[in-house]
Amino acid sequence: MQFPFWPKATNVQLHGSYDDSFTPLIQAFKQIQPQAREDSQPGGSALAVYFQGKKVVDVWTGLIKQDTPWQQDSMALSFSTGKAALATLVHRLADQGLLDYDQKIAHYWPEFGKNGKGDITIRHVLAHQSGLFDIRQNIQSAVQMLDWHEMLKVYENATPRFEPGTKVAYQALSFGWLLGGVVEKLTGQSICEVFQNELVTPLGLDGAYFGVPAAELERVARPIVAVSPDQTANQQKVKPAVQKNVLPKGRRPLTLQEKMIKLTGLDPYEAEDALMPKGISRFSFFTDRVLQACIPAANGVFTARSLAKMYAMLVNQGISDGQQYLSPERVRLLSQIQNTQRDRIMSIPMNWRLGYHRILSLGKRVPEGFGHIGYNGSGAWCDPSRGLSFAYVHNFAGSSITGDPRLWWLTQTALQNADLNLTGKKGWF
């Protein structure tokens, strides 16, 4: 099963195991591996899939760093893919009776209630309708994101951009502090501790962190960037500063493309405010310091098998390894669409559920499916109607707010492969 116009990778050394019935997906996984050059290996990736209660794919390939092969327990920074893991933790606490989706956040976190935030509920945050998507205008530097307690105070003092519940705007970075602050108030423990104690350990996940312990850093895949002699020479040259045109309030002029977007009713400055804190171009999520920090909306680190197993539990009515992790009643709530409006940041309707969004494929319809993708093209999701859960992580260079063609193609192929097994026909839609 070939992805049109995608060059077929050669000499892909695949490790792990898979069920023969998912060979088409394995072929697609091999095909999308970036081509290695003589001077460099572009990195590696891992794929895990559960189908009808059975793990049918658990494979990996490539390197986690130069000269270090990807292992079965290697983890990868997955950016927003981790939002779903944080949401799943919140649902666990809801199941335990510790919170209610429609309760005002200020009920649990009194300091949060000022500056027009008194009516914001947990549901508003899970469905990205709180109006608290802005980070750029709320902090002076991306480095501030490393200070968990400072960021909680930032959002205690923040003012929503619109009345909660009236619009939809992806809380790209703020999501983690908004929900994490509630979790800490409820439990009296750090969000990283609660995540390990209430999600990772009960589900038996082999690699899932917000804030990677120092002893686990060697397991984390990092981008492998080849630097040519010409690039090294250019880096040593001092480039003259370029004075950019700046509009009032420090805004840069919009590009022609952004002006066209604005004509459709979206404000490109809002996306910048949600996604790009000042100084983000000098901020790397792959340094040890950032990996060890707690930024739950953006720096979750996972193995593919951990994400796939978490979603497999959601497919299986909340049961994992014979234990009831979430109640069936709770699980049924998770696929319910909370809004269908066009997202002001993502620019398309995301059909937000309670912390998850719709599955983005190349054609296959998945009305009951939900999951979350990450900025680097990682992604994980489940489809209860097919009994299917899927996770893909990597350390390739590149970025895209809605994933990338590799993820779209793997998602489409996984759904086709499942349909082939269920009905004998793969179909495109």
Tokens standing for 51? Answer: 């189908």
Beta bridge partners of 54: 51
- Burial track 351-367 (b if 16+ CB lie within 10 A, e otherwise): bbbbbbbbbbbbebebe
Which residues are designated catalytic?
A: 80
Return the CA Rg of the chain: 21
The strand pairing partners of 389, in sequence order, are: 50, 382
Can you say how many angstroms the Cα of residue 424 is from the centroid of all Cα atoms in its chain?
A: 32
DSSP class of residue 20 equals G
DSSP state of 197: I
Say if CB 45 and CB 396 are below 8 A apart: yes
**Residue 329 neighbours by CB under 8 Å, 6+ apart:** none
In angstroms, what CA-CA distances link 397 with 175, 375, 388? 25, 11, 28
The candidate with the shortest Cα–Cα distance to 321, out of 53, 47, 88, is 53
The first and second tokens of residue 102, run together, are: 């429609």
Q: Measure CA 316 to chain center.
A: 22
Alpha helices in 242-353 (DSSP H): 256-263, 268-275, 288-292, 304-315, 328-334
Q: At what angle do helices 148-157 and 174-187 cross, to 10 degrees?
A: 100
DSSP class of residue 63 equals E
CB atoms within 10 A of CB 154: 17
Q: Which residue has the tokens 């480039």?
A: 239
Paired tokens of 111: 């300091």
